[in-house]
Structure 1
Amino acid sequence: MKVVPDVFPCEQDRAQFQHFAELPGIELYQAHISRYAFEPHTHEAFGIGTIESGAQRFRYRGANYTAPQHSLIMMNPDELHTGESACDDGWRYRMIYIDPQEMDRLTGDRHWWFSEALRTDVRLAQPFSQLLAQMWQAETALERESTLLELLELMRPLARQGEPRPAEATHRFDAVRDYLRENLAEPVRLEDLAALASLSPWHFLRSFKQHFHVTPHQMLMAFRLFAAKQQLARGESAATVAASVGLTDQAHLTRAFAHRYGITPGRYQKQVFHSR
């Protein structure tokens, strides 16, 4: 018996991924979501995309946003965020996820980052959406690579380069975040995390949530599921992946993965390997 079906409970909802052998560090995503509410998750990559219809509500860096049609969404790497529909009919959108090192290599710039998470401008959103669709449908590596560079050229005026992001100043909770990322498969106790920040568990939990806008458990699960996504994309079995990232079993992985990415691990693997 499957814990999560291979399709969404709402038959209108769809999510698709694409990877390309010639473009490591690049992932395309397109979806229509009306009922799913995505739990906090991270892509550890730049996430840039457009709302083609409907409206999305999401939480990012402690602020709530509503993105209507013709919105451009720009998320920096390693930022936890959520997502849910802001209207009855849901939202249809396209995204591209770009690894930071790949961004540097492709553009020749250093340290891109976006100060705006949301901009509603049909003059920017429509051509960006058209290029994402063109890249999705491209039949050759040359066409995909050329379209990708057109996308980045369109985004360059909206990005900042060579400056550290304000949120990247050293903070006492950085050690906690790093510990969670480096110990995915280990049992984690609240008192141990609090000790890393030299706080009592009570004050640590309150301060951690205030700083990161998620609980330590939500952050740990986001890191576990992103690591699982990377391993699945390399072809590892769901059972092996579940054990390596500290989840109870394959069923646990299936539930958690679907709640954060809107697709089961099995369907995700089929899509990314079929597209290569």
Structure 2
Amino acid sequence: MQSDANIRFEGPEDRAQYRRPADRPGVEFYRARIRDHRFEAHSHEAYGLGVITDGLGRFRWRGGEHLAPQASLMLMNPADLHTGQSADAGCWAYHMVYLDEDLLPVYGGDRSWRFDAAVSGSPAQAQAVARCMRALWLAREPLAVDSLLLELVELIRPQARVQGRPAEAAGRFEPVLDFMRSQLDQPMSLEQLAAVAGLSPFHFLRSFRALHHATPQQVLMALRSFEAKRLLALGQAPAEVAAATGFSDQSHLTRSLLCRYGVTPAAYQRQLGLPGARRAR
């Protein structure tokens, strides 16, 4: 089995760290400081609530290029596909909290919330969110974590809107995404996915790309990578996770997670403090 301990970011100043509270499944904390790395298109299948604490970031989201400056909020909907990188010669630093859709109502939100602007908020609001994020990263007592998450959702509330019924085009492709999620370990063809959508293959290809601003293959790789990270968080061995999520081998999984999430399988499991995780630098 090939170790991934020596596979790192391309830049010595690039850092990414993950943490999960032990008593709250469906919550993940993340902080990063990035200068050289470019995150490939990925999603988190959860609400991404974040704040930029330093520098200037650039990312592609919903078919457009966006800048994320210091003292602004960065808010993502579940399954939003996006990239990420520093937009200048300095480091881009940010904190994120990822909340599963079903957990948002627990902390006073609504699982029909949607964010129309990925970058928003006033400097004062961003500073309040940053303070809350720093406290969450340090919190170890379950009551403190729950109280701070309640505060965070309340701080984010002004940026959210309640989503109505999905548009017909988006609804047509939901079964396709569900099919992808159910068959991650299997090879897929354009004809298969088009049949699920009830469209001819190339009509499906064009329509899917127009709606998701990504090809079916890009979305499939994002779904595979997210599911792999979820299984790793449950303590499954990287080689088993690679096989279960459609990667050709553990090295392929390692490259995918590093490109999309900034962490190798072994380092991710070590950061989460999982028993038996291999030591990774």
Whether the TM-score (by the shorter chain) exceeds 0.5 is yes
Change in CA separation of 1:62 and 1:133 when aligned onto 2, cut-off 3 Å? same
Tell me what 1:114 maps to: 115
Aligned residues: 274
Is the counterpart of residue 257 in structure 1 residue 250 in structure 2? no
Per-residue CA deviation, residues 168-207 of structure 1 (Å, 9 max, x unaligned), is 8654333322221211011111222233334443333232
Q: Percent identity?
A: 47
**What are the residue-to-residue correspondences of 1:75-94 with 2, within 5 Å?**
75-94=76-95
Whole-angstrom CA distance in 2 between matches of 1:245 and 1:253:
9
**Contact 1:47-1:76 at 8 Å conserved across structures:** yes
SS class of match (1:115): coil
Of the structure 1 ranges 222-231 and 7-16, higher mean CA displacement relative to structure 2 is found in: 7-16
Counterpart amino acid of 2:189?
A: R
**What are the residue-to-residue correspondences of 1:1-276 with 2, within 5 Å?**
5-107=6-108, 109-161=110-162, 163-164=163-164, 170-273=170-273
Of the structure 1 ranges 258-267 and 133-142, higher mean CA displacement relative to structure 2 is found in: 133-142
Change in CA separation of 1:110 and 1:183 when aligned onto 2, cut-off 3 Å? closer
Whole-angstrom CA distance in 2 between matches of 1:27 and 1:118:
20
Whole-angstrom CA distance in 2 between matches of 1:206 and 1:109:
33
Change in CA separation of 1:207 and 1:96 when aligned onto 2, cut-off 3 Å? same
Q: CA deviation at 1:111?
A: 2.3
**Contact 2:225-2:257 at 8 Å conserved across structures:** yes
Whole-angstrom CA distance in 2 between matches of 1:100 and 1:241:
24
**Contact 2:232-2:269 at 8 Å conserved across structures:** yes
**Contact 2:35-2:89 at 8 Å conserved across structures:** yes
SS class of match (2:102): helix
Whole-angstrom CA distance in 1 between matches of 2:249 and 2:76:
31
Change in CA separation of 1:274 and 1:180 when aligned onto 2, cut-off 3 Å? closer
Whole-angstrom CA distance in 1 between matches of 2:185 and 2:45:
19
SS class of match (2:113): coil
Of the structure 1 ranges 114-123 and 1-10, higher mean CA displacement relative to structure 2 is found in: 1-10
Whole-angstrom CA distance in 1 between matches of 2:197 and 2:111:
31
**Contact 1:71-1:119 at 8 Å conserved across structures:** yes
Q: CA deviation at 1:272?
A: 1.1
SS class of match (1:84): strand
Runs of at least 5 residues in structure 2 that lack an aligned partner in the other structure: 276-281
Whole-angstrom CA distance in 1 between matches of 2:26 and 2:202:
39
Counterpart amino acid of 1:220?
A: L
Q: CA deviation at 1:120?
A: 4.8
Counterpart amino acid of 1:228?
A: A
Whole-angstrom CA distance in 2 between matches of 1:271 and 1:167:
40
Change in CA separation of 1:110 and 1:44 when aligned onto 2, cut-off 3 Å? closer
Of the structure 1 ranges 91-100 and 147-156, higher mean CA displacement relative to structure 2 is found in: 147-156
Whole-angstrom CA distance in 2 between matches of 1:76 and 1:168:
19
Change in CA separation of 1:108 and 1:75 when aligned onto 2, cut-off 3 Å? closer
Q: CA deviation at 1:268?
A: 0.4
Per-residue CA deviation, residues 119-170 of structure 1 (Å, 9 max, x unaligned), is 1521111110111001111242222222221111211222224x32655865
Change in CA separation of 1:47 and 1:110 when aligned onto 2, cut-off 3 Å? closer
Runs of at least 5 residues in structure 1 that lack an aligned partner in the other structure: none
Per-residue CA deviation, residues 183-240 of structure 1 (Å, 9 max, x unaligned), is 1011111222233334443333232212211111111111101110110000000000
Change in CA separation of 1:173 and 1:130 when aligned onto 2, cut-off 3 Å? same
Whole-angstrom CA distance in 2 between matches of 1:76 and 1:178:
17
SS class of match (2:246): coil
Whole-angstrom CA distance in 1 between matches of 2:247 and 2:173:
24
**Contact 1:4-1:254 at 8 Å conserved across structures:** no
Q: CA deviation at 1:274?
A: 6.1
Per-residue CA deviation, residues 8-53 of structure 1 (Å, 9 max, x unaligned), is 2211000000101222211000000111111111111000111111
TM-score for the superposition, normalised by structure 1 = 0.92
SS class of match (2:98): strand
